[in-house]
Amino acid sequence: MIYDADSPEGYLAALENDWRKEKLLAIREHFLSIDGVTEGMQYKMLSYKRDSDPVAIMNAQKGYVSIYMDDLSVLDPDGSLLKGYNCGKSCLRLRKTDGIEIVQELVARRLS
C-alpha cells in the first residue's frame, strides 16, 4: 500500500491502529536504537540509513509488513535463517504471527 506521507511521523499517523502498526513500531524502535541509524522517507515508505549507507526500507501492506534489504541470499547464503519465511529476492514479508527477531538478525548481518 502507498501512504501519502512526506515524513515518518505522517506515515505512522496514516496507518491503521492494528497489528501491522504495532509490528512497524517495534521494528522502528530497533532500527533507531542502532548507533548512527537515521530515519527518513524513500518511495513513500520508512527508510533507515547508517551514514549514507541504506540499511532497510519498511512498509505496511494489506496482509503483511515488508522489509526491503539487500539481496537476502547474501545475508542468508545457506537459506537456514529464512526457512519458512515469505521472502522475495530482497524483501522479507512478516505476517501477524512472525516475530521481529528475524529482522534484528538480518540487520545485524547487514551491518557487520
* DSSP, residue by residue, 26-92: HHHHHHHTSTTEEEEEETTEEEEEETTEEEEEEEE-SS-EEEE-S-HHHHSTTSSSSTTSEE-SSEE
pLDDT-based confidence at 70, cuts 50/70/90?
A: confident
Question: What pLDDT digit, counting tens, does each position of 16-32 carry?
Answer: 999 999 999 999 999 99
- Pairwise CA distance, residues 34 & 19, whole Å: 23
Residue 77 has pLDDT above 90, yes or no: yes
Higher pLDDT, 88 or 2: 88
Q: Pick 2 or 108 by higher pLDDT.
A: 108
Residue 1: the pLDDT is: 82
CATH topology classification for 8-111: Aspartate Aminotransferase, domain 1 (3.90.1150)
Query: What does the pLDDT read at residue 2?
Result: 85
Q: How far is CA 112 from CA 13, 35, 109, in A?
A: 32, 13, 5
